[in-house]
Structure 1
Amino acid sequence: MTQRFSDPDEPFRYDAEQQRAFTDKMPWKENPKYFQNVKISALALLKLVMHACAGGKLEVMGILQGKVTPNTFYVMDAFALPVEGTETRVNAGDQANSYMAQYAILSTELERPEQIVGWYHSHPGYGCWMSAIDVATQSLNQALDPYLAIVVDPVRTMSSGRVEIGAFRTYPEGYQPETSQLEYQSVPQAKFEDWGSQAHRYYKLDTTFFQSSTDKRVLTALQRKYWVNTVSTTQFLLNQDYYTKQLVELSQKMQQMSSNQAADGRGKKTAFSTLLKDAQKILSEQSTALATHVFKHALFGFH
């Protein structure tokens, strides 16, 4: 969802005294769910999504810059960290920590007012949620509040045609939420246990996007330069491995449900409902991708 301001540059106005007064009060210490909203600039979103996509099947990590206001994080910029990730995890080591410290010093010297307000990383093909390692990392970072975690899925972003992104904050140690607020996700079987076991340890913030006047000029320039390449390529062919993997996962879940004779009526109903949601998601993504492919094939004549 894109938010429009009467003055598009309003979010970029920075009052150091106001920021200091707000952070000194630390209202989030009294309310574990104090922060409810995240507003991300278009260029910051573009940078972190491009970084995630460049990582391919490997997880990548970066840092978010911006400011905090009552109940809300503003993300104005994002930069990549020199971190070597795998297909299942990514962690910031000494090199990344040194890089962050140097970046913060140089930003101050260049009189950039934005502070480091969080981190982001990618989950290629398995959704936007927090693993046990992610929760531990975010909990450690939140000791230096305020801090935000963003997860982006580049594979699902490319296959669905919309950005798959989630913004999260963890609960304090020992805090017991009444119910998990994490929305349903189509999670691969290999990740399902980790996803379910951590769902009560964090919550999701509402995410919207905005464009400054500079964002608009840069995006217009990029569109003019790359529009031919954008409209003449198709993700339907590039994401065949992902689509096949989705169908295999769905088949395995169906076989597991079919062989689970011990499940009671409620359990089977829940399992069937989950399978139905997975199937609907796969159908929606692949139908959209196929329709786009057919249209572009008719328009450009590629194969």
Structure 2
Amino acid sequence: MISEKYLRKVILNADVYAICVQHALTTEKQEIMGLLIGEVDEEKYISHISACVILHRMDKQPDRVEISPEQLCTASMHAEQLANKLKRPMRVLGWYHSHPHITVWPSHVDTRTQAMYQTMDPLFVGMIFSVFQSDPRLRSNQVQLTCFQAYQGTSELERREIEFVIKSSPLQNYNLEGISNLPRILVQEEVDSHDVKDSNTQDELASLHNDSFKTLALVHIVSKVARPLCDDLEERLKAVNARIKALESLKKKLREN
């Protein structure tokens, strides 16, 4: 039986939102996943999410993702390190994953998974990013987000939508480290997947075929993820430097007056 204690609201920092969207857009064939870190107001039941952990997928599937106990433990350790660094109580507050080419609404599997997490923490929240959804009227892809929790209905588990707000925020250093590690994580996933396939075959032609597909996958990560990510960070740096220059100029004028 799930506790009636549930979230009323989620406040999501803009830099975390950007990282989650960037992660979700790395593939349109499988779901991705990660964990959300921040602080929670136990009296008002409001979560303040200010960091995330991008998880390494052990098994790539188009319709489901799973989080291992080891990954939860690693994320908890990361939250403790952030708490010591920021001098604020930080903990794992939820999880996120993507729905490529399908609606944003949680599946029955998602709802059951969410219910399991809530047995450990009643305020644990789930986020789903729907990506690569085409809108024929706008001739563009849409990105949709929902926050949800699970509860026991009259006959089965049901979902409860949670209000969320995206809060304007700069790109924090600890989140910058997280997003910069994304290409490395994707590369490691491909290498691990290739090693499993290669270990299961003794045929040289099949091994050569697998090697070629691994090379194509790595090239795709470099061209479609790593390079655009570097370009984006460089543009952010230019914008920050321009902002600093403008503020210094304003400071100088104020002192002269």
TM-score, with structure 1 as normaliser = 0.49
How many Å separate the matches in 2 of 1:208 and 1:109?
26
Tell me the residue number matched to 1:71. Answer: 45
| Structure-2 change in CA distance of 1:115 and 1:97 (3 Å) | closer
Tell me the residue number matched to 2:103. Answer: 127
Maintained 8 Å contact 2:10/2:47 = yes
Maintained 8 Å contact 1:47/1:79 = no
How many Å separate the matches in 2 of 1:50 and 1:99?
22
Count how many residue pairs are aligned between Structure 1 and Structure 2: 172
1:58-207 equivalence runs, <5 A: 58-69=30-41, 70-84=44-58, 85-111=60-86, 113=88, 114-145=90-121, 146-156=123-133, 160=140, 162-172=142-152, 175-176=153-154, 201-207=158-164
How many Å separate the matches in 2 of 1:71 and 1:102?
23
| Secondary structure of 1:164 counterpart | strand
Tell me the residue number matched to 1:225. Answer: 235
How many Å separate the matches in 2 of 1:72 and 1:102?
22
Task: Tell me which protein shows more strand as a share of its residues.
Answer: 2
Q: Deviations over 1:179-224 (max 9, x none)?
A: xxxxxxxxxxxxxxxxxxx7x6111112221113x349x9xx9587
How many Å separate the matches in 2 of 1:62 and 1:157?
24
Question: Which amino acid in 2 is paired with 1:142?
Answer: Q
Task: Tell me which protein shows more helix as a share of its residues.
Answer: 1
Q: Deviations over 1:234-290 (max 9, x none)?
A: xxxxxxxxxxxxxxxxxxxxxxxxxxxxxxxxxxxxxxxxxxxxxxxxxxxxxxxxx
Structure 1 residue 163: deviation in Å? 3.1
Structure 1 residue 95: deviation in Å? 4.6
- Which range is displaced more, 85-94 or 163-172? 85-94
* Root-mean-square deviation over aligned CA pairs: 3.4
| Structure-2 change in CA distance of 1:82 and 1:164 (3 Å) | same
Tell me the residue number matched to 2:7. Answer: 35
Maintained 8 Å contact 2:132/2:141 = no
Provide the identity percentage.
21
Tell me the residue number matched to 2:28. Answer: 56
Question: Which amino acid in 1 is paired with 2:81?
Answer: L
How many Å separate the matches in 2 of 1:127 and 1:160?
16
Structure 1 residue 107: deviation in Å? 3.2
Structure 1 residue 36: deviation in Å? 2.5
User: Where do 5+ consecutive residues of structure 2 fail to align?
Assistant: 177-230, 237-257
